[in-house]
Amino acid sequence: MATTTFIPTGVRPVLAVVDAPVTQAARIGHMVTFFFRTLAGIPLVLRRYPREFFRLLSDVTWGNGSIVVGGGTAAVVLLNGAAGGAVVAIEGYNALNLLGLGPATGLITALATVREIAPMMAALSFAIQAGCRFTAQLGAMRISEEIDALESLAIRPIPYLVTTRVLASALAVVPLFVVCLCLNFLVCQLVIFMVSGQASGTYLHYFGLMLAAQDMVFAVIKVAIFVAVMSTLQCYYGFYATGGPRGVGIAAGRAMRASITIMVSVNMLLTMAFWGIDAGGRLGG
């Protein structure tokens, strides 16, 4: 006969408060373990699952050819890049023009867009378009016991299902981000010309003063890290989803919240690591 422990009603809230930090610490430890197991599966993926990797690479980038439902991330990333360039141009010019510095809008594009805005926009586009699909796919496989079936066939599910998706995402985002950044620059220059009527040479002069090849390299590294971390988190929530279709939906929401929070934190750490506290930009003196 099983024994049970009686907990007085007044003690239960206290125990819940005490157990909450322990539960969260255990969850974080589980996530970290999952992350390292995903990294450890890279050699196995390259050796045994290259076909699945390339299939996912095509699916992540292009999808079924549509823009929204079932589509890849290419169209979303490029559209967001163009829209971001227009917003930076309009708001940056209006703000600087109040100080008589409207022609110096190229400084904002060369600094803020390259270092912060473009990497975060590209990573968010990936998380929204591809990451949510990862959570839904793995969650559906979990509740239908397909992941258990893979284990019964001696197929390691984390390398086959998770590592392949993370690698495909991190690889696909690099060329997309470079094209997105170039499109952002062109749209920003075009909008500045339309709004202010100033010559393109003025914009390009200030733009060239602050743009550095090192910043471009760091931006590519940042967006690849963002996408890898966010894809891993979203795969984690889908891989361990419970509760049927409703549980998969809850897991997708939690994955998005966690991914955005972690991305902002990682962005702060990478910015400080790459450029330090001093951004290196000077308007005078």
Q: Does residue 128 lie in a domain region?
A: yes
Average pLDDT over residues 172-183: 89
Task: Tell me the CB-side half-sphere exposure of residue 63, using CA atoms within 13 A.
Answer: 18
pTM recorded for the entire structure: 0.85
Given pLDDT bands bounded at 50, 70 and 90, which one contains residue 67?
A: very low
CA-CA distance, 30 to 253, in Å (whole number)?
19
Residue 92 falls inside a structural domain: yes
Q: 145 in a domain, yes or no?
A: yes
Tally of domains within the chain: 1
Confirm whether 281 is domain-assigned: no
pLDDT (0 to 100) of residue 211? 84
The half-sphere exposure of 46 on its side-chain side, counting CA atoms within 13 A, is 7
- Quote the domain boundaries for residue 166: 36-275
Provide the phi-psi class of 200: left if phi over 0, else alpha when psi is between -120 and 50, else beta: alpha
Give the pLDDT band (50/70/90) at residue 270.
very high
Instruction: Give the mean pLDDT of 179-200.
Output: 83
Averaged pLDDT score across all residues of the chain: 84
Residue 96 lies in a domain: yes
6 in a domain, yes or no?
no
| Distance, CA of 25 to CA of 10 (rounded, Å) | 25
Q: At residue 127, does pLDDT exceed 60?
A: yes
Instruction: Report if residue 15 sits inside a domain.
Output: no
| More reliable by pLDDT, 15 or 60 | 60
* Assigned domain for 103 exists: yes
Task: Output the pLDDT for position 6.
Answer: 58
pLDDT the model gives residue 88: 86
Q: What is the mean pLDDT of residues 74-98?
A: 84
pLDDT-derived band at 78, boundaries 50, 70, 90 = confident
**pLDDT tens digit string along 227-255?**
999 999 999 999 999 888 898 999 999 99
118/126 Cα distance (integer angstroms): 12
Burial class for 45, CB neighbours closer than 10 Å (0-12, 13-18, 19+): buried
pLDDT at 17 over 80: no
